[in-house]
Amino acid sequence: MKKITYTDDEGREVELNPRRKVGIAAILALIIVMLLGGAIGGAGAVYLLEKNGKEITLPSLTTSTKQKIVIEESSAFIDVAKKVKPSVVSITTTQNVQDLFGSVYEQKGGGTGFIITSDGLIVTNKHVADAGTSFTVFTSDGQSYPAEVKAKDPSNDLAILKINAKGLPVATLGDSSKLQVGQWVIAIGNALGEYQNTVTAGVVSAQNRSLTAQGSDGSSERLEGLIQTDTAINSGNSGGPLVNLAGEVVGINTAVADKSVSEGIGFAIPINTVQSAIDSVKSTGKIIRPYLGVNFLTVTKDIAKSASLPIDHGALVYKGTQLGAVAVVPGSPADKAGIAENDIITAINNDQLTEDFSLRTAIAQYKPNDEIEIVYQHKGEEKKVKVKLDETK
């Protein structure tokens, strides 16, 4: 009786018991199981069956197994696209502008949004809403609707539009705090303002990024706590959803790095950052934000050194350079708590303020009437005070 062998994961030759009568079907079944185990486990071992004194391989089994893995992975993206695309809309903006010679012409722009209520509330970026005076929303089934701006968030690049419709498909909102670097994500949007419902895939490259975004009108806005992704995000994708492989919206695509000096660097606002604003619009029709009542400058090491500050982090209570501005708004919660100009707020409820976690980001986690503890430096002395947040006026 000829010896029957196979090679294990470590390359060792193992002999099956020659005295035991084993049917060829059983032998093949054993080898197929081993092949599947090696392919799925990624060990990469080649299993052999000796027949008529010659070793033969079964590459077709390994190949088909690998193909199955690829198909399963691809189907996840396909399933997400099918689930989310019906709730993604394209937005066309128009406004009248005047050129240097006094001629007035209509300027058009494009963006993306996603539906959050079946009666037509739509999330997009504030800079999309700022780019027009009239708006048209195109749903995935080809219908078009005039839209109005329902609310804009003063703390984030967020706007809510409203169309008059019923029975619309709604996007599922996820939990962005569960995102991990390296995790697959998908962006869906109106790429270049022309290619509706374009799907691109990538990974979460980093979290808690900060940047100053430049608008097409020359305006700028400081954005913090962003998700960085290598998912392709183009002009027109602004306001569209960034989703996980469960088909849940975990971010709002909002900016890309300058493509003349970078490749594959896009940014999204975490959905948790704007969840309270979305809930506020759903329940009250407007965005209600917590209010402390200070103007501030985020302290960095360079600022601390140039201004001879005693610490290199936190929020310097600072009136800025605008004529008539104040550091602390009279009658505000901060004023009532005794916080004054040139104080440095260092922590909110034990969360230390840094360049990437500013006072604005910290306060945005709370609601009006929430009580928080503020740790701050006053003339070199550390103090603590409890403050009840007000509502944005």
Span 76-95, mean pLDDT?
93
Q: How do residues 335-377 score in pLDDT, each as one tens digit?
A: 999 999 999 999 999 899 988 788 988 888 888 899 999 999 9
If pLDDT is split at 50, 70 and 90, which confidence band does 232 have? confident
Range among 33-42, 45-54, 260-269 with highest mean pLDDT value: 260-269
User: Which stretch of 75-89, 141-155, 216-230, 248-262 has the lowest confidence by average pLDDT?
Assistant: 216-230
Is 238 tagged catalytic? yes
pLDDT of residue 47: 34
Higher pLDDT, 11 or 102: 102
Q: Is the pTM of this model over 0.95?
A: no
Is 313 tagged catalytic? no
Residue 4 scores a pLDDT above 50: no
Q: How does 65-95 read in b/e, with b if 16+ C-beta sit within 10 Å?
A: beeeeeeeeeeeeeebbebbbbbbbbbbbee
Q: Are 241 and 252 in contact (CB under 8 A)?
A: yes
User: Which stretch of 62-76, 261-275, 347-361 has the lowest confidence by average pLDDT?
Assistant: 62-76
Catalytic residue among 238, 280, 332, 358: 238
Distance of CA 228 to CAs 248, 256, 265, 312, 332, Å?
A: 17, 9, 7, 25, 35
Percent of the chain with pLDDT over 70: 77
What is the DSSP code string of 163-197? Answer: ---SS---PEE--GGG--TT-EEEEEEEETTTEEE
SS3 203: strand
pLDDT of residue 39: 39
If pLDDT is split at 50, 70 and 90, which confidence band does 255 have? confident
If pLDDT is split at 50, 70 and 90, which confidence band does 18 have? very low
- Domain residue extents for the chain: 5-57, 85-162, 174-284, 290-391
Residue 310 scores a pLDDT above 80: yes
pLDDT of residue 233: 85
Is 127 tagged catalytic? yes
Classify domain 174-284 at the CATH superfamily level: Trypsin-like serine proteases (2.40.10.10)
If pLDDT is split at 50, 70 and 90, which confidence band does 17 have? very low
pLDDT of residue 366: 87
pLDDT of residue 51: 40
CATH level 3 topology of 85-162: Thrombin, subunit H (2.40.10)
Residue 175 CA to its chain's centroid (Å): 10
Range among 40-44, 149-153, 254-258 with highest mean pLDDT value: 149-153
Q: First and final CA of the chain: distance in angstroms?
A: 91
Q: How do residues 147-187 score in pLDDT, each as one tens digit?
A: 999 999 867 899 999 999 999 999 999 999 999 999 999 99
H helices of the chain, where? 24-41, 59-84, 126-129, 271-284, 301-306, 333-336, 359-363
pLDDT of residue 73: 60
Span 37-41, mean pLDDT?
39
Nearest 10 degrees: Cα torsion 324, 325, 331, 336: -130
Relative to beta strand 195-214, strand 220-229 is antiparallel
CATH level 3 topology of 290-391: Pdz3 Domain (2.30.42)
Q: Would the CATH topology of 174-284 be identical to that of 290-391? A: no
Catalytic residue among 153, 157, 343, 390: 157
Residue 100 scores a pLDDT above 80: no
User: Which stretch of 161-175, 221-235, 252-266 has the lowest confidence by average pLDDT?
Assistant: 252-266
